[in-house]
A and B are shown apart, each in its own frame.
Chain A
Amino acid sequence: MKCFIGIDLGSTTTKAVILDENLKELGHGITNSRSNYDIASTVAKQEATVNARMNLVAQSLSDIPELSGRLKELLENLERNFRLEQFMESLADLEMVCRNNAVGERFKGFEQGLAEALIVTFQKLRLEAPDLFAPGAKRKSDFFRDIAGSRYLAIGEAVAKDAGLAFDMMLNIYDRSIIEVENRLTGENLKEMIMKALLRTLEGFSELSGVSKLVENAVKDALDIELEETYVVGTGYGRARLPFSKEHIRSEILCHGLGAHVMYPKTLTVLDIGGQDTKAIQVDDAGIVDSFQMNDRCAAGCGRYLGYIADEMNMGLHELGPMAMKATRTVRINSTCTVFAGAELRDRLALGEKREDILSGLHRAIVLRAMSLLSRSGGIRDEFTFTGGVANNEAAVDALRALVKENYGDVTINIDPGSIYTGALGAATFAHRAV
């Protein structure tokens, strides 16, 4: 099967979208952008391939009448079990690297103790892993670095204490190791992992034992479909660092414009708030960019700003929006300087303002900045599509709706749940056009 792939290498996350010959989306994937852009784009592509495979599996299984009514549940379990397999594989890698790193001058005299503490820590991590991926389990993030990191910190601290070791040493080992693990590829045996996850899944569906062979074969068939990488287009902040030739690289402004057009063909104005930049784009009726404005060298009021705020409040990035939604009033905040974000926050807290009210103000401040870019780019035209990671934040969306209404009246505002993939979708569409 011919595949057209778009990769959006953003400052915070890297996204990939795979389209088929008919421009139908086969799958999409996301990972955290790390120091190694090459790996980040490969991992994102791999994640999109996983997603595409899962979709193909779903399609293939939908032909088995015995599964009707149970298919959704089966697929959800398959996905969860696959994620667990993936997690376990990376965890094993991390353990090995941590143990290799727990030697040397710095740890002299503690090597034995550290090795034992690491064994205990990873044993515990492995043991609790299935719970992290159990039905309904909530994770602060889906990236290995975040999940493994937060659990290692919690478990490792207790283990170090019991063993009479300084936790600093454990922390140092982790910091050195995670970068190494993150910057190498795992999951090359994707098909094998999916099959393993399938067997684990089927164990929980004993009533389907009669058709288990049929299911296995259908899944195998889906996994055997060749996904041919016909053309790849890269975009995003780090696009120049992608291992692609120039013809395979497009500006993210063009990609967001086209991606928004593909999602909502009546789009005329696009706002994209990404990690490090905010873009206001005007497109024509074919999704081609007419004009654009973006923030200059300062990333004030971009997604990263929310990231700092989340860190400052010791919260997950995706918890900010819901908390801001609880506000009863919106604190007026004028500074969107990322560097001063923490200070602004602490000031407001010291003045006795409630966290949710401050957060509501911070979200509004971000959107106000975006509104200025929008007006500089020529204003908001109907229809208006909001893309990028921040479009998933309900408080930001709320503030945007209010300000759009206030300044431009009734305008159709499109926000796709998959808006974070808009740039990658545009890139994949360019890939399709290039052939």
Chain B
Amino acid sequence: MPKKAPPTAIKEQSMEIQKSMIADNFRQLYDAPKTDQKVVSTFVPGNLNELLMCFDFARNLPEINALQNAMRKRTGRMIMEAERAGHSEDVCTYVKADLGMMAQGNIGPTGEALPTPDLLLLSYTGCFTFMKWFELVREQYKCETAMLHVPYQGDGVITPNMREYVVKQLKEDIIPTLERVSGVKFDIDRLRQYLRQSAKAEEDLVWVLQSAKNKPSPIDAYFGGVYYVGPIFSSFRGSEGAAEYYAMLRKEVEERVRLGKGPVTPEGEMPEEKYRLVVEGPPNWTHFREFWKMFYEEGAVVVASSYTKVGGVYDFGFRHDPDNPIETLADYCLGCYTNLNLPHRADMLSQYVEEYEADGLLINSIKSCNSFSAGQLLLLREVEKRTGKPGAFIETDLVDPRYFSAANVKNRLESYFQMIKQKREGNAPLGAAA
């Protein structure tokens, strides 16, 4: 029987551009061995993209590979492959998808082979798993590893000491390593130039994300948001292309605001905004469209999310600063959402609920993520208490399709939406017309 073609998703122009940017990066990685370009693998939160660009590295981001593979329904097999190799069911599924992909020939999401990296740069340790992940990968690639240790914001502040510690590592360890591996001399003016582009893109991104304060919100700051943060969280921050992309995106959204339009979903424009939510936690990638549909078909729009901050928190004023190029890299790494402690996260999420006039906080807790799922129920209670708005909790996974139970998630979401509706209608006495 011929396979039924999946329905074509309706996308904004910016989404198409974003898609081709990501595809270009995979092509660059594929070509790297032929063009003798050096390759670095590094993680999204706290990535030093501008710095890496100074050494002409092609940038490979394993989480992006895993999520892109998941959206193409490929991670199930990869995860099983990793499990066959001895990794237990509870291990982070990003890790297993990556290891499984390598075991199956290291063919990337676009069908092009991924190169063997020349360097593994671990620039963030807020998630302990990252360290273990590279330890496992290093075994196989037998390549050099550099680690930038970023102190955790345990007390909710970045002290001068913490900043100096990161700067010192950058100057004395990371930059010399990058020079040695790449054979390119470090040029601080080149870095300044990239940082200028970053700041421009960041300015526009913040504008776009904050446009969700409008009613109706012109964007979905979670499902749409993951497209928007794609370039800046991956290998494009600092590039001219990214700055252009965000300027274009901003124009697109400005137009939507002007016309009073809601977000674009895969099935077209959302006709009515019924619920405004703040979401904590990454989306599920294996059933991304199905998951999104559970929201938009009920008229639920996500107006702010913490996931769109994991690769950099910009909405409280931080911008990459070309005048203090090394220090700004340190501040960026220290300030990523993943490096914030629970009280800080509670502050931020409560603030979002208030400022974006949301109906409440929804947490999508990731089953195989031990670092960030810990304490989420506490977060939920705290935000509920502070804002007086009801919260809800769902559980899925990043890229393991076995962990997505559609009926269960839908049940909880529908209950949550109906709960919000009930609350809104007020505590009408029993029997009173609703």
Contacts and interface: CB of A to CB of B under 8 A. Distances in A.
B430 A294 contact: no
Contacts of A213: none
B415 A286 contact: no
Interface of B: 377, 381, 384, 390-393, 395, 403, 405, 407-408, 410-412, 414-415, 418-419, 422-423, 427-434
Interface string A281-299: 0001111111111101100
Nearest to B429: A286
A286 B405 contact: no
A253 B408 CA distance: 12
Given A286-B427, A287-B430, A378 B381 contact: yes
A273 to B, nearest CB: 16
A254 interface: yes
A433 B391 contact: no
Given A254-B422, A284-B427, A378-B381, A289 B433 contact: no
A199 interface: no
B215 to A, nearest CB: 23
Contacts of B410: 240
A376 B377 contact: yes
Contacts of A240: 410
A-B interface, 6 closest residue pairs, ranked by CB to CB distance from nearest: A297-B405, A251-B415, A253-B415, A286-B427, A433-B434, A289-B419
B161 to A, nearest CB: 38
Contact of A433 (B392, B405, B418, B428): B428
Given A250-B418, A251-B414, A297 B408 contact: yes
Nearest to B410: A240
Nearest to B393: A293
Given A286-B428, A288-B427, A294-B411, A434 B419 contact: no
Contacts of A433: 428, 430-434
Contacts of A103: none
Interface string A265-288: 000000000000100000011111
Contact of A296 (B381, B405, B430): B405
A257 to B, nearest CB: 9
Contacts of A288: 419, 422-423, 427
A51 to B, nearest CB: 22
A137 interface: no
Interface in A381-435: 429-430, 432-435
Given A297-B403, A297-B405, A376-B377, A292 B430 contact: no
A169 to B, nearest CB: 35
Given A288-B423, A294-B411, A296-B395, A254 B418 contact: yes
Contacts of A263: none
Contact of B430 (A23, A252, A291): A23
Contacts of A291: 384, 390-392
A285 B428 CA distance: 11
A251 to B, nearest CB: 4
Contacts of B427: 284-286, 288
Contacts of B432: 433
Nearest to B377: A376
Contacts of A251: 411, 414-415, 418-419
A423 B324 CA distance: 62
13 contacts: A23-B431, A251-B415, A251-B419, A253-B419, A254-B415, A277-B411, A288-B419, A289-B422, A291-B392, A292-B412, A296-B405, A378-B381, A433-B430
